[in-house]
Amino acid sequence: MAYPEYILKKLRQREDLEPTDKSKDELFNELSPSAVFDEVCDWEGFINYSCTIKSWIEDIYDVKLDKF
């Protein structure tokens, strides 16, 4: 899967890379959507909240994100 550039920037920074350093993009694009969501939530300060946010989405919208 190829994630959008703005998501890749967050993943790069999470790994202490410069936002434009594409050296690990191949690895990042191999991550599952669930793993990327976890990393992005943590980077944005929602540390250990990814499961809670997913459950809110499931309960409110009846969409199970982990199916994707």
- The tens-digit pLDDT sequence of the chain (68 residues) is 799 999 999 999 999 999 999 999 999 999 999 999 999 999 999 999 999 999 999 999 999 988 76
HEC string of the chain equals: CCCCHHHHHHHHHHCCCCCCCCCCHHHHHHCCHHHHHHHHHHHCCCCCCHHHHHHHHHHHHCCCHHHC
pLDDT at 61: 97
Q: Kindly report the pTM of this predicted structure.
A: 0.89
Domain extent for 52: 5-67
- How many domains is the chain partitioned into structurally? 1
pLDDT at 42: 97
pLDDT at 67: 76
